[in-house]
Structure 1
Amino acid sequence: MSRSRGAQQVDSLRGFRTPESEPSVPSGLLKAARQSGTLNLTNRNLSEVPTSVYRLNVDTPEEAHRNVSFGASDRWWEQTDLTKLLLASNRLTRLSDDIRLLPALTTLDLHDNQLETLPGALGDLQELQQLRVGHNRLTCLPPEVYSLRNLRSLTLQQNLLDSLPEDLGRLEALTELDVSDNQLTELPSGLGRLSGLQKLHLCRNKLTCLPDSLRKLTNVKLLDCSNNLLSDVPAGVSQMAALEQLYLRHNKLRHLPPLRAPALKELYLGNNQIADVSGERMSGLGALAVLELRDNKIATLPDEVTALGALARLDLTNNDIGVLPAALGLLPELKILLLEGNPLRGIRRDLLTKGTNELLKYLRGRIKEEPDSAGGDVPTAMTLPSQAAVNLHSIKTLKSLVYSDKKAELIPDELFQAAAEHAVTSADLSKNLLSDVPPRLAETRASLMDLNMAFNKLSCCSLVCSLTNLRHLDLRNNQLGDLPSDLNNLSKLHSLVLNCNKFKSFPEVLYDMPSLESVLLGNNQVGDVDPARLLRLVRLSTLDLSNNDLLNVPPQLGLCTTLRCLSLEGNPFRSPRAAIVAKGTDAILEYLRSRIPT
């Protein structure tokens, strides 16, 4: 009996059947890809790409043989050609020539794998616009890649490239090229043929010089040459008319480069050997907003520093500066001046700890006021008691209304009267007990560009909405929980500081203020932010959301590629992990983009 039952269980055709194996890509995912045109196989531990992926648009899908109803959602013959194939963060060691069976691909993401070579069949993907092969083991690219006439973005960071061919210049549609973290010792002159290039990343290589053909890259906005072996910068860089951001950190530069790039806004020269900062070279940097010269050997700054009229941030940390030129105090836009690690003489240590505003005020005080050419009533050293509240020197000469740290609940009327007469451009009313913005501040609306109302007791700030020329607004350490909807009248506002208030969400009105470049919301109670609406802020480069109540960080925030500084520390979210947050903005954004569902 036992033998009889065993015989009944034997499959007599077992030897003729093909063993069934669990597919490495679920059929449901392939089905969805035929409808959407996108297949995301990121982080699936793949050691090779399944044949079913290559033949996605070639073979008749299996469900077509089983399903005879063919409802509207199952019409396999109406499938969409695959345009995006994402294979990042797997264990791929090779890519088959069958990739040519997907000729409609516009995006191919292979970064973070173990690829040592790429197939020449990539040349058949003539619709390809983005090719991402960073974080692999490539020593070169197949020649066929340089025939991709529609390729716009080529990212090759963190490979083993020691050279680039002249054929690179054939990729004339490129707008972004990233070859950072390789072993390049020189660049081909053909690089200059990439006339549409906007972003060029060359950092962390072994470059000793840059080709003069860079001057032809007149559309490049960002050039990163950090962590190389450069001892000089070719004069041709000055002809890069669109250049806005130039990174030259960690090189061997001894002099301030001769730059006259008219659009240059940010110049990073930290960790070099610069000792000479000549005034002549300063004069060509009139549009500069950020200048980083930290960790160099600078002993003196020239008085021509006043030519940097747009400068907002100057980092001189860890140099050999003994004396600061008083002319620094005349820079109208300077908000951050970093001087730690310098052997400064003649400036009290406690003054340095009080921050940039106090230091600049001290420097301005060292500038002798010239006598009034009209010969009329000249202010004397003897001031009447009734005039004590009015700093005429500050208002008349520096166009600055200053009434700070007075613990006052009201601002004297004579202060506003003098400010209106002399068209002040900045007002500092911080560290008082103000519960509202003074109404008479509206009298300065035609000229006022910088307003500091920090460290007061403001619960409402509606009156600032009439100050339509404001560029910088500091409202930190108040009692604000919301912002007025009319704040979007401030169409020129670049910088907004809201740290240490009572905001529970990202203020709605800020989503409608595309002029914003910097928003600081640290130390509030913000619980959410809408990344889709944040994308409207096309100039936003700094966003501080540290020490808030964010329980999760939306992956779509990674699409805000204009961000150069994103602060998320001190929030209760679990993802991204603290280790990723500690790596900085670029690592955070890259991680978030990898988590975007398709």
Structure 2
Amino acid sequence: MAASLNLRPKNFNGRLYLDFTNKRLTSIPEQVFDITDLEYLDLSKNKLTTIHESIGRLQKLYRLDADDNKLTSLPQKIASLQNLEELYLQTNTLTELPSEVGELKKLGWLYINDNQLVTLPASICSLRNLKMLVASNNELSELPAGFEQLQNLTKLYVGGNKLTELSSGVCSLQHLETVVVSNNKLSTLPEGVERLKNLTELYIDGNQFRELPLGVCSLSNLEVLVVGPNPIRFLPDEIKNLIRLKSLTIISCQFEEFPRPVLKLRSLEQLFAGQEGEFRFRSVPEEIGDLEQLRYLALSNNKLSALPPTMDKLKRLRDVYLYENKFKTFPEVLCSLPKLMVVDIRNNRISKIPSSLSHLSRLKRLVVAGNPLKYPPADVCEKGSDDILAFLKDEAEKEEDLKRAFCRLALTVDRLQIKPTARLLGLSDDVIDQIQEEHPDDQMYQMLMTWKEKKGSEVTMDSLGGTLEELGLYELASALKPEKPGASLKDENDGSSVRKRPTPTARVQPIVRSEEITVKENAVFLSYQWDHQDQVLLLHDRLQERGYGCWMDIKQMGGGDSLYQMMDKGIREAKVVVSCVTPPYVESPNCQDEVALARTLKMPIIPVMLEKTTWPPPGPMSIPFAQLLYINMTKSQDDDPWKGALFEELIRMIEYFVLDSKEESDEYSSSALFGPVKVNTILFLRKPSRQIQQSKMAAALNLRPKKVKGGLQLDLSNKGLASVPDEVFAITDLQYLHLNNNRLTRIPEAIGRLRKLRRLDAFDNLLTSLPQATISLMELEELYVYNNKLTELPDGMDVLQKLERLLVRDNKLEEIPTEICSLYNLKMFDASRNKLSSLPPGLEKMQSLTKLCLSGNQITEVPLGVCGLSNLEELSVGSNPIRRLPDDFSHLGRLKTLDVVDCQFDEFPRQVLQLKALEELYAGQAKGKKFFVLPDEVGGLEHLSLLSLSKNRLRTLPSTISRLHKLCKISLRHNEFETFPEVLCKLPELEVVDVRDNLITSLPTTLEKAAKLKDLDVSGTPLTYPPRNVCRQGTDAIMAFLKQDAEKENALLRKEFSRLSLLKVDPAQIKAIGRSLGLSDSAIKYIQERFPDDVLYQVLMTWRDLEGAEATLDRLEATLNKLGLSELTETSDQSIRLLIMA
């Protein structure tokens, strides 16, 4: 084993470091203990059961990582490590710590969580420099005496143990900032907890507290307090003393009513008050309006039917969660909250959403599923938040028109005409008299408003005029049509001198000075996320004013699939994409799709940063944006940022790609595009459509580098260059050189003069090789040479020890030189879509590698070296003729994303099932060998959020899929499913299900329980249930249909339960029935005590709640027959029974 290990230490932050992570070690090589200068030793993720006593020879060790092994004990010689500051022992099988640990006088961080420790040694209290102690998820029943000696401790994590009390010594630790005692057996905290004056976070949830200890209320610096779940029945008034508290969690407690002391916490920003079980709030006090700092409010799973009007004072509120309550009408007080962004009010009883909600300009997410909505209509609601709000805005404008019309009528009608007119409109004398009494000076207007409320949505301007004419009130009908301002003036088109309104382009000086710009409609595609929608709308308007047609989703009609089709069309027809970059933008799947499509089409992309974002962005956008610079709009403080030099630079960039002919932009090309500018130059993903002759281009080149953050930059991208000007190699201080998107066939050896170069972009050219002088660029960190015609890489690249990113995809490489494996700092290596049939030995040495892309080659097996890349998070080996994965594949313990599409596996590769950290798995087989079966062990991938199994031959899914509680997206399209896999109905986070092109004929009603499901694609299936007309309406309509049918079944079953409960059944029989149906004795006893006169019905309803769709009448009858109670079933109403069984 030692012979294959690299025993040469590396330098880590100036310290000697030896990394044995994930090497399958069962013992530590003896040679390690001879490296007496070693300062950092990482042994994590191996199979060690012991650590040899020789560890004591490593006297300079300051950090030891031995987590995720199988250690059962520690050596006594660990006491010799007097310089040790950090010790990581989590996730082992330790049952005790040796007392010698207490001799590690410099120890500051001790991680011993997720072991089997029953006690902690008393000597641990001698660690006077200990700052963090993490001992969660063990078997601890107490903390050692003398705990108060740990005076430097700032963070204490002991959650998930068996503590029945907390040591009083904890209260003497004056520097404590965080205490986590969640999920123990505590019923109180020790006296003196109020002495922890520096405590900012306290977690006591999941214990047995029946009241909040008063001492907690004296923690004046507390910012985060998590109380629930606990059986707490009230909060003390003294909680108001927590004047700095920002976040409070009181979920699943046992309050009889909303705890009023909470309403005194004036600094509160987040309140989590969702409840479960018997104890639910029926109302919220008016004083909640005093929490004016509140930004997040969760009141889900209660029994609320209204909100207090005082909530209109919560002007900072952004997120409101009211799902699973009893609202029959939408709480209109929310319409007065200007910063509201998210409203989740699903699964209530609301039939109408008020049009005044459209006034909330920042609202971007409105969740109304599971309500019996009639207004807006179903076809609007199913399209999502944007369409709902657009509809409400139109309706609000119509309502304002009506109110203005009512005002005109009120001025027209004589006082004596009011009562006859009101009677003609259908109002009763009692109503008329009441209005006259309450509104003596405003009678006609109030009567019209009362008539409108009575008629509802039927009332429009046209219908009002028609009604008045039908009643013979012609003068009133004519009064509805106001005179147009300036009606006496002549028409604009009759040749008169009436002054016309100036057009937008008449008010704006055009960019091109010679003649007006003429552009194709929607030449600019605006790609953005909703967090800055107002700013992007303003950008849309400014570009329109300049004569540039823009495509923006909010300006389109329709939604759902039709909107996606329009997006696709919009990108394809545009000439340039402007990406409005913010942190939510780079995480948005829709925005990622837009960028991916633009990149596939080789569209030019201009990134505009609206909010500070890591560059290049993390995730799927890292590759398309890695080679792009951006226009930085983050520092603009104006209400209208789209003015000034930065905006003009954006206009110039857009103009270059939008103008229809080169001649129109000649002047601009030489004076602006290639001249000095004050912002970052943009690098585009393709060459512009207009080809400019090399001679003219060279004359226009500006070879003066710019100063950017980090050094000097020269951008020669998109210049049509066939060669690199010699003058470039004289700029020896250059650090960033961009040569991409040209026609280069070679780069001169003179590149070696640029010894300070940190980044070289030469992608999208015609290069067949790289100069040997490339290895002279010792400072190089990023090398992008993808999409060329390279057949080989230079020899000796192992000297480029600062290289972190190497992208050589889409070339013609047949082999990768062995030296690449010695690039110890390389984090990303992409060699996809070449002609590789194998990889060099030694890949395991690339321990910094987090992303490796090898798809689209001719590789027949995954090299063992890949399995030794312990930090690898993303691996793509798809579209290769690979037949099996190595057994050591399971050692990739940090792998989050795996692509094995279109391989040649004979069966699903079981090695994948050991990758417990996996979050995304792509295993579709359009061109590879199809999978017939998915193994049960897939249920062990509990972090999985995305699973793609499209184009296989699957007919079923294993029941263990139900354990994938984090799964959000699953694609099963083009398989052989004849029935919908019901196991998916048990996944609480499921949002997207694609089962198109299967043989499914019906969907189960239990699917309606998938509360977060928002995209269900069943196209191409022979569905008969739900009916086709329902399926065509989309996901919301399908879910509503299933929910309605499920409710019908439940209603019929409840009716049968009621019938049975009328029969004479003695208590002993009821208890036998309950036990046979799976209820515990404690549950039955609880029902008997709480519902003494309704025991059988409540037993049956509890069974129904527990079993869900499995609780059928057939099963109930079988249970009764087995108990010899067939006389109960014989009296059943046959019609009801048949309906239930159907």
Give TM class, smaller chain: 0.5 to 0.7
Question: 1 CA distance for matches of 2:306 and 2:187?
Answer: 34
Matched, 1:437 2:559: no
1:241-266 per-residue CA deviation (whole Å, 9 max, x = no partner) reads 33222222222234333334344222
Comparing 198-207 and 499-508, the one that deviates more: 499-508
Q: Specify the code of the residue in structure 2 equivalent to 1:135.
A: N
Question: 2 CA distance for matches of 1:178 and 1:324?
Answer: 39
Q: 1:583 to 1:103 in 2, by over 3 A?
A: farther
Contact 1:452-1:474 within 8 A present in 2 as well: no
Question: 1 CA distance for matches of 2:240 and 2:153?
Answer: 27
Task: Measure how far apart 1:130 and its partner are.
Answer: 0.8
Question: 2 CA distance for matches of 1:464 and 1:477?
Answer: 12
Contact 1:128-1:150 within 8 A present in 2 as well: yes
Task: Select the residue among 65, 73, 83 that pairs with 1:40.
Answer: 65
Task: Select the residue among 202, 223, 231 that pairs with 2:233.
Answer: 231
Task: Measure how far apart 1:308 and its partner are.
Answer: 2.2
Question: 2 CA distance for matches of 1:294 and 1:513?
Answer: 39
Partner of 2:289: 283
1:492-531 equivalences in 2 (<5 Å):
504=624
The two structures have a TM-score, normalised by structure 2, of 0.34
User: For 1:123, what is the secondary structure of its paired residue?
Assistant: helix
Matched, 1:267 2:271: yes
Q: 1:46 to 1:249 in 2, by over 3 A?
A: same
Task: Measure how far apart 1:223 and its partner are.
Answer: 1.8
Task: Measure how far apart 1:329 and its partner are.
Answer: 2.2
Task: Measure how far apart 1:142 and its partner are.
Answer: 0.7
User: For 2:225, what is the secondary structure of its paired residue?
Assistant: strand
Partner of 1:136: 138
Partner of 2:594: 479
Q: Specify the code of the residue in structure 2 equivalent to 1:271.
A: Q
Partner of 2:874: 551
Q: 1:356 to 1:251 in 2, by over 3 A?
A: farther
Q: 1:100 to 1:343 in 2, by over 3 A?
A: same
Partner of 2:242: 240
Q: Specify the code of the residue in structure 2 equivalent to 1:294.
A: S
Q: 1:426 to 1:41 in 2, by over 3 A?
A: closer
Matched, 1:318 2:681: no
User: For 1:314, what is the secondary structure of its paired residue?
Assistant: strand
Matched, 1:331 2:321: no
Contact 1:474-1:498 within 8 A present in 2 as well: no
1:194-251 per-residue CA deviation (whole Å, 9 max, x = no partner) reads 1212222212111111123223323333222232112223333343233222222222
Question: 2 CA distance for matches of 1:310 and 1:126?
Answer: 44
Q: Specify the code of the residue in structure 1 equivalent to 2:224.
A: L
Contact 2:62-2:86 within 8 A present in 1 as well: yes
Q: Specify the code of the residue in structure 2 equivalent to 1:301.
A: L
User: For 1:138, what is the secondary structure of its paired residue?
Assistant: coil
Q: 1:27 to 1:224 in 2, by over 3 A?
A: farther
Q: Specify the code of the residue in structure 2 equivalent to 1:213.
A: G
Q: Specify the code of the residue in structure 2 equivalent to 1:164.
A: L
Structure 1 residues without counterparts, runs of 5 or longer: 1-21, 58-80, 387-407, 412-424, 444-450, 516-527, 534-548, 558-566, 586-598
Over aligned residues, Cα RMSD in angstroms? 5.1
Partner of 1:579: 942
Question: 2 CA distance for matches of 1:118 and 1:514?
Answer: 51
Task: Measure how far apart 1:502 and its partner are.
Answer: 10
Question: 1 CA distance for matches of 2:167 and 2:152?
Answer: 19
Partner of 1:176: 178
Q: Specify the code of the residue in structure 2 equivalent to 1:487.
A: M
1:277-333 per-residue CA deviation (whole Å, 9 max, x = no partner) reads 335232122222221111111121222232222222211111111111323223222
Higher relative contact order (CA 8 A, sep 6+): 1
Task: Measure how far apart 1:513 and its partner are.
Answer: 10
Q: 1:485 to 1:344 in 2, by over 3 A?
A: closer
Partner of 1:293: 299
Q: 1:122 to 1:382 in 2, by over 3 A?
A: farther
Determine which structure has more spread, i.e. the larger CA radius of gyration: 2
The two structures have a TM-score, normalised by structure 1, of 0.61
Contact 2:158-2:180 within 8 A present in 1 as well: yes
User: For 2:169, what is the secondary structure of its paired residue?
Assistant: helix
Question: 2 CA distance for matches of 1:172 and 1:93?
Answer: 30
1:258-407 equivalences in 2 (<5 Å):
258-272=262-276, 273-346=279-352, 347-348=373-374, 350=378, 352-357=381-386
1:74-89 equivalences in 2 (<5 Å):
81-89=83-91
User: For 2:217, what is the secondary structure of its paired residue?
Assistant: helix
Question: 2 CA distance for matches of 1:209 and 1:439?
Answer: 59
Task: Measure how far apart 1:356 and its partner are.
Answer: 4.1
Partner of 1:60: none
Task: Measure how far apart 1:183 and its partner are.
Answer: 0.8
Partner of 2:80: 55
Contact 1:162-1:185 within 8 A present in 2 as well: yes
Question: 2 CA distance for matches of 1:54 and 1:170?
Answer: 27
1:545-596 per-residue CA deviation (whole Å, 9 max, x = no partner) reads xxxx972699699xxxxxxxxx9954559999731345669xxxxxxxxxxx
Q: 1:191 to 1:464 in 2, by over 3 A?
A: same
Q: Specify the code of the residue in structure 1 equivalent to 2:325.
A: N
User: For 1:229, what is the secondary structure of its paired residue?
Assistant: coil
Task: Measure how far apart 1:154 and its partner are.
Answer: 0.7
Q: 1:203 to 1:366 in 2, by over 3 A?
A: farther
Equivalent residues, number: 444
Task: Measure how far apart 1:127 and its partner are.
Answer: 0.4
Q: Which structure shows the higher helix fraction?
A: 2
User: For 2:68, what is the secondary structure of its paired residue?
Assistant: coil
Contact 2:324-2:348 within 8 A present in 1 as well: yes
Q: Specify the code of the residue in structure 1 equivalent to 2:265.
A: A
Partner of 2:1111: none
Q: 1:335 to 1:569 in 2, by over 3 A?
A: farther
Partner of 2:708: none
Task: Select the residue among 117, 122, 126 that pairs with 1:120.
Answer: 122
User: For 2:248, what is the secondary structure of its paired residue?
Assistant: strand
Q: Specify the code of the residue in structure 2 equivalent to 1:579.
A: E
Task: Measure how far apart 1:56 and its partner are.
Answer: 3.1
Contact 1:475-1:499 within 8 A present in 2 as well: no
Q: 1:26 to 1:280 in 2, by over 3 A?
A: farther
Partner of 1:17: none
Question: 2 CA distance for matches of 1:309 and 1:178?
Answer: 33
Q: 1:112 to 1:500 in 2, by over 3 A?
A: closer
Contact 2:143-2:167 within 8 A present in 1 as well: no
1:447-467 per-residue CA deviation (whole Å, 9 max, x = no partner) reads xxxx968965467675969x9
1:446-496 per-residue CA deviation (whole Å, 9 max, x = no partner) reads xxxxx968965467675969x9xx9xx9984873469856515x46x9xxx
Partner of 2:203: 201
Comparing 269-278 and 114-123, the one that deviates more: 269-278
Structure 2 residues without counterparts, runs of 5 or longer: 1-24, 41-57, 353-372, 412-460, 462-479, 486-519, 524-531, 547-552, 557-562, 600-604, 636-803, 806-826, 828-854, 856-872, 876-891, 897-916, 924-936, 945-963, 968-1142
Question: 2 CA distance for matches of 1:192 and 1:506?
Answer: 51
Q: Specify the code of the residue in structure 2 equivalent to 1:578.
A: L
User: For 1:116, what is the secondary structure of its paired residue?
Assistant: coil
